[in-house]
Amino acid sequence: MTDFASAILRCRPGALWSCGETYDSIVWLDTEQTKPTEAELETAWQELRAAAAARKIWPNAQAFVAEFTPAEVAGIALSAAPTVAAMRFKLTTWFGEIHSDNADVLAGLDALVEATILTPERRTQILATA
Amino acid sequence: MAKKYVYLDTATGRQEADDGPAGGGGGSGEVVQVEVATKTDTQTTTANNGTWTDITDLAITVTTTAGQRVVVQAAISVGYVSAVSGTAIRLVRAGSPDVAINAAAVTSGRWSAGAGPLLTSDGNTIASLVHGGTDTPGAGTWTYKYQFCASSASGSATAYINRSSNDSNTNPYSSRAASFMRLDVLAP
């Protein structure tokens, strides 16, 4: 069943609206953006489902860090690279789940590859869903 | 001890109270009518900071006589995006304009009643807002209903009823909840 709320948020970010669980329940309040068609929302919903299927989710920062080998953890802990340091700090304050398509996660893993703490193959391995 | 008889319609879940087959009762402060409304589907809005949206199914219409008091109680399940936004609810007696019941006096005027939570959330949280109010509307037929809106300092947020923000009706975010309101009419 199409989740119209999620689909509208994807199609028309920042728009004002209310909805229930059907297309007909949508009350369009926005004066700048147009109400999306049902076909548009169906397409957006399928895109969201595809993205969700490809997304790896760690329940918390500890689970994410557990992906790394001891040598990689040591490299992360000792690195002076600014992006790695920023990732290290963000992980200490991260609340809740970590998603593999999060921009901070992807930038952090790229920085680890650049700093030769991770190999490109290990980056792929860490991001891969089971 | 005065007694009231409460009847449950098992098909609809609706409850009604009266004096029972023997009649009598109806003394001051006694419950003369009970109505219950439940909501089991979900609802979402991006209307925020005082632009209120009716919560479908959480509305009850009653007819009162002069001096009767209406007491409303509700438990409403809400979701919200993050720690920097919330979902606000309020109870109103429908009219032009709607009259907020049990409204908190706030200088900002954003939330008339029922505060949305500003709790730490990663988008998977559903919180239950317990709210109520009393009103003595006078003689007439009245509709009491709940409304909701998103609230955020940035003016951009999304508010959810009976679902979390991350819930897209697919695993692993399939958690759903229900909400209800109960309305009692008390004798003068």
Mean pLDDT taken over chain A: 92
The ipTM of this complex is 0.72
* Whether B89 contacts B113, CB under 8 Å: yes
B41-53 b/e (C-beta count within 10 Å ≥ 16 → b): bbbbbbbbbeebb
The enclosing H or E element of A20 equals none
Q: Which residues of B touch A (CB under 8 A)?
A: 41-48, 51, 53, 56, 120-124, 156, 158, 160, 167-170, 172
Instruction: Find chain B residues with C-beta within 8 A of A16's C-beta.
Output: 46-48, 51
Cα–Cα distance list, A76 to A73, A101, B131 (Å): 5, 20, 49
**Cβ contacts of B177 within 8 Å, gap of 6 or more:** B77, B126, B128, B162, B163
pLDDT digits (tens, 9 = 90+) for B96-111: 888 888 765 544 444 4
Judging contacts by C-beta atoms under 8 Å, the chain B residues touching residue A48 are 168
* pLDDT score of A49 more than 50: yes
Residue of chain A whose Cα is closest to the Cα of B160: A5
- In angstroms, the CA B98 to CA B65 distance is 20
Q: Which residue has the higher pLDDT, B117 or B183?
A: B183
Q: How far apart are CA B67 and CA B186, in angstroms?
A: 9
Given a contact cutoff of 8 angstroms between Cβ atoms, the answer to whether B93 and B142 are in contact is yes
Task: Report the residue from A18, A48, A97 with minimal CB separation from B45.
Answer: A18
pLDDT tops 80 at residue B25? no
Query: B175 pLDDT band (50/70/90 cuts)?
Result: low
Its pTM surpasses 0.90: no
- Whether the pLDDT of residue A72 is over 80: the answer is yes
| Window from B65-74, B109-118, B136-145 with minimum mean pLDDT | B109-118
Q: Is the pLDDT of residue B117 over 60?
A: no
Mean per-residue pLDDT, A67-81: 94
